[in-house]
Amino acid sequence: NDGGKEYPKKKETRDLMFEFLDVPQTHPAWQREGGYTSYTFGEKGKKVKVILLDARYFRDSLEKSYPAPKRYVNIPNTDGDILGEAQWNWLTGELKNSDAQLHLIGSGIQIIPEDHRFEKWANFPNARKKLFETIAASGQENVVLLSGDRHISEFSQMSITGKEKPLYEFTSSGLTHTWGSALGEENQHRVGELTIATSYGLIAIDWNATPLNVTMKMFSTENGKLLQERKVVF
């Protein structure tokens, strides 16, 4: 839990994850250190590129603090990194060389939120800033961030330098369990409401709309009811 590059079984854990997800042994991801990869779906003019980052394998250490409410004793780690040099170079190429109409960047930990005390990119502000700069420098406006891990669901939005339109993050976690009660968790970048009900996420793409319309939706796992939605226009 909350492990980084110091975890002694990270290689074995990565392999078990790939096996569980049925990643073919011939896939290039097996030949790299870490568990990052990408997939492109769809035909020309209607392509979606899913970029899955590894935010643990190369992540610098955080010293845990017990008991609560503090989670760590050395945050923010201003000098720390999350992706590692090889993965940064890979991500840059994946964005710059893409002809997809939509890019979904998945991270196991939240990227935009910075107020809560748990694991997040904001614990490493230089790495977070570098990620935003990488996205902006790629020239790809059509980017949505995806994250989980938090036992809650929410939408976050912020403007970043060099990107014309706001950057959105869809945090969807809590398919089987959640915090169970409202914690009043602060998120200065949240748009909409904090969802603590067990839920799942769905992204609907309207390929007939110009510009492209993408709608992020949260649904209840108990009755299938739509809990929240947020439309992004590219």
pLDDT of 225-234, one tens digit each? Answer: 999 999 999 9
pLDDT in tens, 49-64: 999 999 999 999 888 7
* In contact, 206 and 215? CB cutoff 8 Å: yes
DSSP string, 66-82: SSSS--BSS-S-TT--S
**What is the average per-residue pLDDT within 171-200?**
88
Q: Quick one: which of 143, 138, 195 has its CA closest to 166?
A: 143
Q: What integer pLDDT is reported at residue 64 of this predicted model?
A: 78
Which residue's entry shows tokens 């970029």?
Answer: 51
DSSP 195: E
Predicted confidence at residue 208, as pLDDT, reads 95
Q: What is the mean pLDDT of the chain?
A: 94
Could you tell me the two tokens for 208? Answer: 């007939």
How many helices (H) and strands (E) in the chain?
A: 3, 10
pLDDT class of 178 with cuts at 50, 70, 90: confident
